[in-house]
Structure 1
Amino acid sequence: MPSERITVAVSPSVPPYVFSHDDSGLQLQILKSAFKNQGITNLDIVYMSNKRAGQSLEKKNVDIAMNYAGVTGSTIYSSKSLLAYQNVAVSLKKNNFKINSVYDLSGKSVVAFQHATEFLPAPFKSLTTKLRSYEEVVYQAAQVDHLMKEWVDVVVLEKRVFLYYLQQYKKTHPIQAITIHPIFPAAPRPAYFSSKVLQEIFDMGLTHIIESGEYSKIMAFDGSDYAQVTAPNSIK
């Protein structure tokens, strides 16, 4: 078992997957639980951009990166998927939009998360030219605000992220009924390791917590559950 401290590079807060103020959230809880199952608790969580995390992993300045866009294989080892991100389109129920594929967004006003055209499957990027309007925002709380105020027809973001910010918004604003359109494929989220041995230890722990039911208990929390125990963010 590793005796030295294990450094984990993580993107700054992505509620409900990562909360930097107390090193919690779904992804970090799964990571910690899988390692704890294998008797490992000596984790140091450090926050940095995805780009810096990838560079640090390649230089072996960190042991694990939760996000990595480079090539795995010879020196970088990918674990089993901790969970899957599910990007979705969300509209107001009263509009009764029939959105069964990305092509059904045509002619609508859409606000997506930052760099959505790079992360989502190719048809989405080409479709943005056929939208009535298209914008990407850094602060995802603003997507909920824009939708509820009917400033936009559709928002595109990860499902649990939306539920988290919707619950936050609900604390201080009236909300309208929504429809979630799962028009994008689920995106598995592994962790990336600079050590094959450490990756195998983690995968073993992950398998064990899945089999024991501990994993299901962690994943039972969706975005709205986390939001109910977290202080509201300000809506810009």
Structure 2
Amino acid sequence: MDIKRAKLTRSYVVLTYLFLLTVNGFSSFAIANSLSISVGWNKPPYVIEERNSGFELDMVSAIFANMGYSVSYVYVPFGRSNTLIKVKKVDAALTMNEHMDIEGLVLSEPYISYQNAAISLKGRSIEIDSITDLKNHTIVAFQNASVVLGDEYREAAKKSPLYLELPNQRKQVEMLLKGKVDFVVMDINIFNYLSNELLGGSHMANVVIHRLFPKTTYHIAFTDEKLMLAFNREMSLYKQTKEYDNLVAKYEFLY
């Protein structure tokens, strides 16, 4: 009886050990194939934080899924994305470019572009012909606008009677609609989405879009060059698919 019990005990120990090895193996695989990525606060239709979706997140998640990775997003004010990756709290950071502090990081090929503009209320009848003309007006802009929109814009911002950069883009739109500033500087699609949401319908007929800026292209910042190169290859393939075309159509961009 004791011999049988001993054999059963040994069998149980062996099975338990094998089970733990299997679980640990799966856990290690999951950890090795999971990425954390920092992303700026809510900026629909690109980033819709409450749904963990939006064009930008859907696209990036799909590309990494094709590479065998699951992704979790860490939402921070736009200006802090590079800080997290530089101290290695995340594996990558979205919406980065060469004008930002990227020392020690590697940038992917451009994966998305934003069409920023200076937007004013049509009823105010404000006329400007250049970026420099903004210096005479009150402005609210997206965080880091003075970094990514170039020297001429940065100088105009310095001379503006009131210049604010806010991480909350809904607040930016509200300030324009309430007449608290002359201009909001932001992406046209973001303004269209948020103004529609705030007012329950399109507001584009009631504003003037001053197209002063070229498109701003953005990259993903990585700490791992091999991962960046693999992302570039997969992104190139993904953008040739019907899935990508359907994603673009889903978010009804104005440009």
Length-normalised TM-score, structure 1: 0.76
- CA–CA distance in structure 2, aligned partners of residues 130 and 48 of structure 1: 29
Q: Which has the higher contact order (CA 8 A, sep 6+)?
A: 1
RMSD, aligned α-carbons: 3.1
Q: What do the CA deviations read for 1:149-189 (whole angstroms, capped 9, x no partner)? A: 44433222222221121111222898861121120122111
**1:192 corresponds to which of 197, 200, 221:** 221
1:169 and 2:232 equivalent? Answer: no
**2:71 corresponds to which of 24, 27, 43:** 43
Q: Which residue of 1 aligns with 2:128?
A: 99
1:124 and 2:153 equivalent? Answer: yes
CA apart distance, 1:82: 1.4
8 Å contact kept, 2:36–2:91: yes
Q: Given the superposition, is the C-alpha separation of residues 67 and 109 from structure 1 closer, same or farther in structure 2, using an over 3 Å criterion?
A: closer
**Which is helix-richer, 1 or 2?**
2
**1:62 corresponds to which of 71, 84, 90:** 90
Question: Which stretch of structure 1 is more off in the superposition, 147-156 or 76-85?
Answer: 147-156
8 Å contact kept, 2:195–2:203: no
Q: What do the CA deviations read for 1:63-107 (whole angstroms, capped 9, x no partner)? A: 2111553335xx532111111122211123345544342133353
Percent of aligned positions that are identical? 26
Q: Given the superposition, is the C-alpha separation of residues 166 and 5 from structure 1 closer, same or farther in structure 2, using an over 3 Å criterion?
A: same
Q: Which residue of 1 aligns with 2:10?
A: none
CA apart distance, 1:206: 1.0
Q: How many residues align?
A: 220
1:144 and 2:173 equivalent? Answer: yes
- Gaps in structure 2 of 5+ consecutive residues: 1-28
Q: Given the superposition, is the C-alpha separation of residues 151 and 78 from structure 1 closer, same or farther in structure 2, using an over 3 Å criterion?
A: closer
Question: Which stretch of structure 1 is more off in the superposition, 141-150 or 27-36?
Answer: 141-150
CA apart distance, 1:24: 0.8
Q: Which residue of 2 aligns with 1:19?
A: 48
Length-normalised TM-score, structure 2: 0.71
Bigger Rg over Cα: 2
